[in-house]
Structure 1
Amino acid sequence: MKYGSMSTMPSSSASESSPPEQDGKLMDALLASRRRWKSLTQLVADFIFETDDEGHFTFFEAGPALGWNDQELIGDPGSRLLPFVNSAPTPNPFQTRNVIRSRRFWIKRADGTFGCMLIYATPLLSPTGQHAGVRGLGIDVSDEISSNADLAVARLHSEIVRRITATMRSRALSRLGIPPAFDELAAMLGACGGILISERPEGKVENDDDDAEEEIVHRLQSGNAAFDSHVENLVRQSEAKLSFEPEILQIEGHDVILCRSRVRYNAPAAMALWRNNLGVWSQDDANLADAALATFASALEMSALNRALARNARFDPLTGMLNRNGLLAEISRRLPRLDRERLSGTLLVIGLDRFSEINVRFGFEAGDSALQQVATYLRDAIRPTDLAGRLGGDIFGLWLDGADHFVAAERAEAFCQHGAAIFLSEPLTLTFSVGLAARNWETGESVESLIDRASFAMRSVKLAGGARWHTSLEESSP
């Protein structure tokens, strides 16, 4: 049965024998005491309550923090406001036999959610010293708890990202630090498997195999090869490339975090982490994985930029061939092997005859197209083991690896007889002036000497009218 909101303490047998006038004064004193207590507690509390000896509310008044009407809970057990009261190890504040000071409890709001309340409560005793109920108050600290939780998560994320960054910086190249940093992230998140993929950039320069980026940067195998392969295919799917927001997916009894990072100077990087069982990842976990991926993607981007700088230092951007420095460096790298194997090598320096007339007649864009077509022709005319490069302007260089003067002379004769057919607004045939410089392994001649001799021979042919080849027979001494 429901009681009034201002019910009093149980009366003693002594009060029953007291004169009515004395009983009235006692009741007035109790009511005045109640009003003073209520006025004071309302200044600091979000709700105040009293319960009887069975833990049922005899008085309850709450502000907007809980949303209950003042009379709504009168007569109901206090456990109605507690989550899982039967299994909770904490005491019931509405039935406590001990004083409770500043202890946090989760209290149910009228809308079914729970708020964290800082509760102060003291047991009430009858005149005979028996437990008669509890009186107390609660202060809402939900915002503080939420703020502290957010701060704790932010600190955890900051520490994990700091450790990942430190792991990557401990390596000579940041990209080499990605695999151990990835493993550390997976361990801290409790992931059983994972994969990190950097999509291969389009338009890779020809003959640049050494600089090609591995598509799979790192893989953490979970022991379930079929599931690992399934997630890897998911990461590669075009549908997964539509969003750059971290996602939590549930796949075949696993929670999977999938995230993708956009970078400015490299193809996007994609990452997946997964755990066994469902419902174990949180959005905070997904956000942390996304932050870690941003760090990994930055390292991959820096690696791509370094490769691009190295490539630009070695290759000609117009034709994709080795430039002068790249060609000379690659020839120098091969000379010691040729000397050990007692093999020759020959450098051909090839100049295009009257190339300036193409620029004048057809324009500079047509001239660039002509150079690109000649570059393709020269690459197709040599073996895979040989080298082709653009030395500058309309001058090209070919290194015939292991070829002596006679083999190179046959190749130069074919160039000069047939020239190169190109197609602009009309078909044309370009002729060549070719200078040869053969290197004998016994001389130990440097690549600088070779290119000087071959260039001088080529210029001699040009001065004589072009469309011929000439050999420099002088060789420097070792």
Structure 2
Amino acid sequence: MNTPLRPLFPESNSPANSGEMMDVLLASRRRWKSLTQLVADVIFETDEDGRFTFFDAGTTLGWADHDLIGEACSRLLPFVDSAPGPNPFQTRAAIRGRRCWVRRADGTFACLLIYATPLQSPSGRHAGVRGLGIDVSDDANNNADLSIARLHSESIRRITLTMRSRPMFRLGVPPALEELGAMLGATGGILLARQAGCDAECAEQEILEAGSCVGDDVVHRFPAQGSALDTQIESLLRDYEEGALTAPKVTQIEERDVIFCYSRIRYTTSAAMALWREGLGVWTQDDANLADAALATFASAVEMEALNKALAQNARFDPLTGMLNRAGLIAEISRRLPRLDRERLSGALLIIGLDHFGEINAAQGFEAGDRALQQVATYLRNAIRPTDLAGRLGGDIFGLWLDGADHFVAAERAETFCQNGVVVFLAVPTTLTFSVGLATRSWETGETIESLIDRASLAMRSVKLAGGARWHASLEESPP
């Protein structure tokens, strides 16, 4: 290599123009280069001022050999003043295996394992540094990835422990979300559990839970009272359509870094989360990935709660019609009886059976029978007040609870059902008639709901035996 050389020892007593001395130095340089190239990716020498007098890195760093000759080492090591330890290109002591990040020609950085030794003039004055570097960038990057993975794992573990330390989902997720925000230095955040809208099948539950079905459910937000910009970020989060965020996204909104994350859930539509922080460029994609991993944990809790709700609903509601089932109707009426007794109000139960319903199953099949039951259920729900209850007790038998109604109101309602029947639309329109058993309950008797059902059911069966299409009242109330 024909690299121009500066004399390492200008104050030497040897003759300055001695060709023999120069040949010796060049031969020594070539032998040293040949040996070090066997194990090193970078070879260098610097003078007493930290300027390169020799540099060879092949293609490792992208610099041509002559690019750095005469240049200060700071061009290769821009952060030398803030780097821990001595500058490896100006060291006064031997360095063995020190990791150092240096700049490549394209502006990126490489990690070198530096071995260097200081040079001295014959008089003992510091004359520069000679050394070599081994490129360990891949190992450094892998270690960095491993460190990030460990950090993420520890963060998720802490979040999970926070959630598990609370007895219920709603109590565990909020502090876990705030802990995630503290880890990332977020100044605000919101977690949504998007839910599918209510349909006809959850009408009974909507009555019982006062309209609990909502389009977007805010699981938690911090701070509790946000600014107008916080509201804007929340609005943007709500605007993301399902599947629009396939990966966590870092964006900037009015001098803030914002992370948006989205997770699909089986039992609700989705979970979505936004975190924000003052300043731009303060978050990396690794931060977004941690937030996304945390959201997956939150989504699992949301999913479990939705599953528990679904199981609870299936335990109390009829899956075919969406009405309360027998157990659900009994439980809800029983819950209301103490209030009626305190207010000295009566109540009435109508047990309704469909006349000749088996003929639909026999002539048109069970699917047609199921559609008929669904239409009857819709008719009965629409025929009562919002404060009343409707349930399917089994088969073609339905129950209506008229809250606070006396015998005369219940008899009037039963008469209307029996006179009109209901038209169901199958292959051909079919009119079904009702057999209705009626039982009223006075607050003075303290009669149980089981007794009330028995009396109304017995009255209904007597009507069916008589041919149907009429109603009958059980006038004798049983003692508690």
Choose 38-47 or 386-395, whichever is displaced more. 38-47
Matches within 5 A, 1:99-114: 99-114=94-109
Matches within 5 A, 1:320-359: 320-359=322-361
- Say which SS state the counterpart of residue 60 (structure 1) adopts: strand
In the other structure, the counterpart of 1:52 is 47
Q: CA deviation at 1:261?
A: 0.6
In the other structure, the counterpart of 2:368 is 366
Q: Structure 1 residues 192, 222: CA separation in 2 closer, same or farther (over 3 Å shift)?
A: farther
Whole-angstrom CA distance in 2 between matches of 1:216 and 1:12:
79
Is it true that 1:147 corresponds to 2:138 in the alignment?
Answer: no
- Say which SS state the counterpart of residue 117 (structure 2) adopts: strand
For residues 374-422 of structure 1, what are the alpha-carbon distances to aligned partners after superposition, in whole Å with 9 as ceiling and x for unaligned? 2222222222221111111111111112222232222222222222233
Whole-angstrom CA distance in 2 between matches of 1:412 and 1:54:
106
Q: Structure 1 residues 34, 404: CA separation in 2 closer, same or farther (over 3 Å shift)?
A: same
Q: Is contact 1:5-1:60 (8 Å) kept?
A: no
Q: Name the count of aligned residue pairs.
A: 472
Q: Is contact 2:333-2:449 (8 Å) kept?
A: yes
Choose 175-184 or 207-216, whichever is displaced more. 207-216
Whole-angstrom CA distance in 1 between matches of 2:76 and 2:54:
14
Whole-angstrom CA distance in 2 between matches of 1:241 and 1:13:
75
Whole-angstrom CA distance in 2 between matches of 1:275 and 1:472:
69
Q: CA deviation at 1:437?
A: 1.7
In the other structure, the counterpart of 1:454 is 456
Choose 361-370 or 154-163, whichever is displaced more. 361-370
Whole-angstrom CA distance in 1 between matches of 2:430 and 2:326:
27
Q: CA deviation at 1:290?
A: 0.8
Amino acid corresponding to residue 248 of structure 2 in structure 1 = P
Q: CA deviation at 1:271?
A: 0.8
Whole-angstrom CA distance in 2 between matches of 1:115 and 1:229:
43
Whole-angstrom CA distance in 2 between matches of 1:58 and 1:417:
110
Q: Is contact 1:79-1:94 (8 Å) kept?
A: no
- The partner residue of 2:192 within 186, 193, 197 is 197
In the other structure, the counterpart of 1:314 is 316
For residues 340-362 of structure 1, what are the alpha-carbon distances to aligned partners after superposition, in whole Å with 9 as ceiling and x for unaligned? 22222221111111122233344
Which consecutive segments of 4 or more residues in structure 1 shift more than 6 A? Answer: 26-29, 86-89
Amino acid corresponding to residue 207 of structure 1 in structure 2 = E
Matches within 5 A, 1:19-58: 24=20, 33-58=28-53
Amino acid corresponding to residue 206 of structure 1 in structure 2 = A
Whole-angstrom CA distance in 1 between matches of 2:474 and 2:84:
97
Q: CA deviation at 1:160?
A: 0.8
Q: Structure 1 residues 71, 427: CA separation in 2 closer, same or farther (over 3 Å shift)?
A: closer
Q: CA deviation at 1:239?
A: 5.0
Q: Structure 1 residues 231, 241: CA separation in 2 closer, same or farther (over 3 Å shift)?
A: farther
Q: Structure 1 residues 462, 30: CA separation in 2 closer, same or farther (over 3 Å shift)?
A: same
Q: Structure 1 residues 100, 226: CA separation in 2 closer, same or farther (over 3 Å shift)?
A: same
Amino acid corresponding to residue 321 of structure 1 in structure 2 = M
Gap regions ≥5 residues in structure 2: none
Q: CA deviation at 1:13?
A: 5.5
Q: How large is the Cα RMSD of the aligned pairs? A: 2.7
In the other structure, the counterpart of 1:212 is 213
Q: CA deviation at 1:34?
A: 4.2
In the other structure, the counterpart of 1:169 is 164
Amino acid corresponding to residue 335 of structure 1 in structure 2 = L
- Say which SS state the counterpart of residue 349 (structure 1) adopts: strand
Choose 370-379 or 27-36, whichever is displaced more. 27-36
Q: Is contact 2:195-2:270 (8 Å) kept?
A: no
Matches within 5 A, 1:429-468: 429-468=431-470
In the other structure, the counterpart of 1:121 is 116
Is it true that 1:274 corresponds to 2:276 in the alignment?
Answer: yes
Q: Is contact 2:197-2:213 (8 Å) kept?
A: no
Whole-angstrom CA distance in 2 between matches of 1:326 and 1:158:
44
Choose 453-462 or 82-91, whichever is displaced more. 82-91
Q: Is contact 2:242-2:270 (8 Å) kept?
A: no
Whole-angstrom CA distance in 2 between matches of 1:436 and 1:13:
123
Q: Structure 1 residues 276, 377: CA separation in 2 closer, same or farther (over 3 Å shift)?
A: same
Whole-angstrom CA distance in 2 between matches of 1:37 and 1:223:
69
- The partner residue of 2:397 within 389, 395, 398 is 395
For residues 209-258 of structure 1, what are the alpha-carbon distances to aligned partners after superposition, in whole Å with 9 as ceiling and x for unaligned? 33636611111138652111111111111457523211111111111111
Whole-angstrom CA distance in 1 between matches of 2:298 and 2:270:
11
Q: CA deviation at 1:300?
A: 0.9
Choose 360-369 or 387-396, whichever is displaced more. 360-369
Amino acid corresponding to residue 383 of structure 2 in structure 1 = A
Q: Is contact 2:47-2:53 (8 Å) kept?
A: yes
Choose 373-382 or 187-196, whichever is displaced more. 373-382
Whole-angstrom CA distance in 1 between matches of 2:129 and 2:429:
104
Q: CA deviation at 1:449?
A: 1.4
TM-score by length of 2: 0.90
Q: CA deviation at 1:296?
A: 0.9
State, as a whole percentage, how many aligned pairs show the same letter: 69
Q: Structure 1 residues 455, 74: CA separation in 2 closer, same or farther (over 3 Å shift)?
A: same
- Say which SS state the counterpart of residue 167 (structure 2) adopts: coil
TM-score by length of 1: 0.90
In the other structure, the counterpart of 2:290 is 288
Q: CA deviation at 1:454?
A: 0.9
Q: Is contact 1:404-1:438 (8 Å) kept?
A: yes
Whole-angstrom CA distance in 1 between matches of 2:98 and 2:57:
18
Whole-angstrom CA distance in 2 between matches of 1:373 and 1:164:
48
- Say which SS state the counterpart of residue 188 (structure 1) adopts: helix
Gap regions ≥5 residues in structure 1: none
Q: Structure 1 residues 359, 88: CA separation in 2 closer, same or farther (over 3 Å shift)?
A: closer
